[in-house]
Structure 1
């Protein structure tokens, strides 16, 4: 399901903390981004509970938004410092913003946040379609792990040294 994402990088990408009250809009962004890869409605319904930006993450400063200079939301990431050593819990980009650098900006920000907390590694349970992007940004595959949602489906388990 590879897709072309060659777009011009955007120099105007800005990062900011997610704000209380944005949970629903940012969670919807996660679903739009996941659906970009052509998953059917049944798949999307099954994974939706796992693709939520939470109020707790926002309050704790663990959810970050990438936006353009004019305030258009381009993507979101959420970290879980207590998860698997230090996890990149979510990283999703609006489909029309894929390839613009928003994902890399969020990825680097998540690394910096986890490193500032004293964690030596960032872990990622990746969608198979996103693995190449993570590898390109410096992650390495450690192993394949069973999906919590679909019996028989395996997902790449990645790590990034901080």
Structure 2
């Protein structure tokens, strides 16, 4: 049975591993992945201070999101699914939880997404609007998509 729950601070390593494996799914080289590992490690602090939820079943956690809520601009900081579960609908379930429950409860009306080119279409299918490109924090000169999602309620 699937369950979506608030992440616990002690989940930080598990979530960091899921993020790493999910990003590696796209075939990036080891130099890129080492930079990713250091820059996108999920911390106990982030989990304690931001809206971070996991999707799990009886076998364990296999995806999560982390939403940074700000007075000015909220942003989707993490949204990762274990590679073995990509394309099976779990990302959409997690997304719906984020939009229908978390954003609704916190009255978030829109949030920014900066993502890999491979994930861009996933977010657009869910209703995000392509804003343009920004420079990657991981590789100088590499441009990656920036999107905006407006919560419709």
- Tell me, yes or no, whether TM beats 0.5: yes
CA distance in 2, matches of 1:138, 1:13: 24
Q: Say which SS state the counterpart of residue 65 (structure 1) adopts.
A: strand
Which has a greater percent of strand? 2
- Could you tell me which residue of structure 1 aligns to residue 46 of structure 2? 57
Q: Say which SS state the counterpart of residue 133 (structure 1) adopts.
A: helix
Report how far residue 58 of structure 1 moved: 2.1
Render the CA deviation track for 1:93-121: whole Å, top value 9, x for unaligned.
Answer: 00001112211122222224234322321
Render the CA deviation track for 1:64-103: whole Å, top value 9, x for unaligned.
Answer: 10112x1421201111012861111000000001112211
Stretches of structure 1 lacking an aligned partner (at least 5 in a row): 1-11
Moved more, 137-146 or 112-121: 112-121
1:26 to 2, 8, 15: 15
Q: Say which SS state the counterpart of residue 26 (structure 2) adopts.
A: coil
> Where does structure 1 differ by over 6 angstroms across 4 or more consecutive aligned residues?
none
Question: Which TM-score applies when normalising by structure 2?
Answer: 0.89
Report how far residue 24 of structure 1 moved: 0.8
CA distance in 1, matches of 2:111, 2:50: 17
1:104 to 92, 95, 110: 92
Q: Say which SS state the counterpart of residue 130 (structure 1) adopts.
A: helix
Stretches of structure 2 lacking an aligned partner (at least 5 in a row): none
Render the CA deviation track for 1:119-144: whole Å, top value 9, x for unaligned.
Answer: 32121001111111111111110111
Moved more, 58-67 or 26-35: 58-67
Question: Which TM-score applies when normalising by structure 1?
Answer: 0.85
